[in-house]
Amino acid sequence: MPELPEVETVRRGLQPVMEGAVVARAEQRRADLRFPFPKDFAGQLEGRKIVALDRRAKYLLADLDNGMVLISHLGMSGSFRIEPDGDAPLSPGVFHHERSKDDKHDHVVFHMDGPAGRARVVYNDPRRFGYMDLMARAELADHPWFRSLGVEPTGNSLQADELARRLAGKAAPLKAALLDQRIIAGLGNIYVCEALWRARLSPRKPAGRLVTRAGQPRKALERLTGDIREVISEAIAAGGSSLRDHIQTDGTMGYFQHGFSVYDREGKACPRPGCGDTVRRIVQSGRSTFMCARCQRD
Ligand SMILES: [Zn+2]
């Protein structure tokens, strides 16, 4: 499943051909993905200019010139690829996201015409857990998909004071609290495991223990906040370089398997110098947590 850094990488890859470009034609090849497409989906897009390509959590948001927003979620297996149209030159940021090349899973094609030339932006999704919708920008904040989303884990939007407010009094394990989209939006399993390892915090520790009685962040929470921002920004930076160099690691773009310290490394040595313990996998709420029991104590 694509995590936030991958979605951000996709956004940056699509930006040069979508932002400032007109949807000359849209092809919708089936009635639904995970959810039905909105009425007259293609008709509502055709002739509209995309004024900005944004992201909120794992949603891609293409703002149209009429105040509507094209919302797109990749689900489990969704991917976009860009095919230059005709003789148009490859523009910077063009990439091929080779998760599935089988064109029977190409469900939506946007024919873009813009400053970078003409290109087809193709949405492919074998399992069809992804979805697209159109809604007014003004209604976005109140929509069920968005209204309860927590803070972004990127850059300065994530602050220890704000996290303290959200974690105060919570008995839930840290792992579960950090995966809760109402607390932090778009932080998935991989990066929660990585950030907890970096911050030397046990995933089983009750989340509220990182907050003082007065509601202030403890030192550990300040450290964790920095580590979350760091793992996310490093992953986005690695995604950016994979875009520039057209590197494809095992078919997925924006995933940086070699960079993980604990995720999916069960039985391997903990990479912290001098630790000497091995990474273990535990199961919390039905999901795997990878951790080092020596570095990450309760
Ligand atoms: Zn360790």
Q: Which residues are catalytic?
A: 2-3, 58, 287
Q: What is the average per-residue pLDDT within 148-167?
A: 93
Task: Output 231 or 256, whichever has higher pLDDT.
Answer: 231
Q: Which amino acid is at 119?
A: A
Counting residues of the chain whose pLDDT is more than 70, the rounded percentage is 88
> Could you tell me where the beta strands, DSSP code E, fall in the chain?
22-28, 50-56, 59-64, 68-73, 79-84, 106-114, 117-124, 131-136, 280-284, 287-291
CA distance 62 to 60: 7
pLDDT attached to residue 168: 97
CA of 228 to the centre of ligand 1 (A): 18
CA of 298 to the centre of ligand 1 (A): 14
Q: Which amino acid is at 293?
A: A
CA contacts within 13 A on the Cβ side of 119: 29
Judge whether 24 and 46 are in contact, CB under 8 Å. yes
Confidence at 240, pLDDT banded by 50, 70, 90: low
Backbone angles phi, psi at 17, to 5 degrees: -100, -15
SS3 content of the chain, % helix, strand, coil (to 5): 30, 25, 45
Residue 249 scores a pLDDT above 80: no
Residue 69 scores a pLDDT above 60: yes
Q: How far apart are the first and last CA of the chain?
A: 29
Confidence at 12, pLDDT banded by 50, 70, 90: confident
| Environment of ion ligand 1 (residues, CB < 5 A) | 270, 272, 275, 277, 292, 294-295
Q: What is the average per-residue pLDDT within 251-265?
A: 66
Cβ-based neighbours of 281, under 8 Å, separated by 6 or more: 266, 288, 289, 290
Confidence at 259, pLDDT banded by 50, 70, 90: confident
Backbone angles phi, psi at 121, to 5 degrees: -105, 115
Backbone angles phi, psi at 254, to 5 degrees: 90, -5
Burial (0-12, 13-18, 19+ Cβ within 10 Å), 79: buried
Which of 243-247, 249-253, 272-276 has the weakest average pLDDT?
249-253
Listed in sequence order, the DSSP H helices in the chain are 4-18, 41-45, 137-140, 160-167, 174-179, 189-198, 219-245
Which of 20-34, 60-74, 92-106, 153-167 has the weakest average pLDDT?
92-106
Helices 219-245 & 189-198, crossing angle to 10 degrees? Answer: 130
CA of 227 to the centre of ligand 1 (A): 16
CA of 275 to the centre of ligand 1 (A): 5
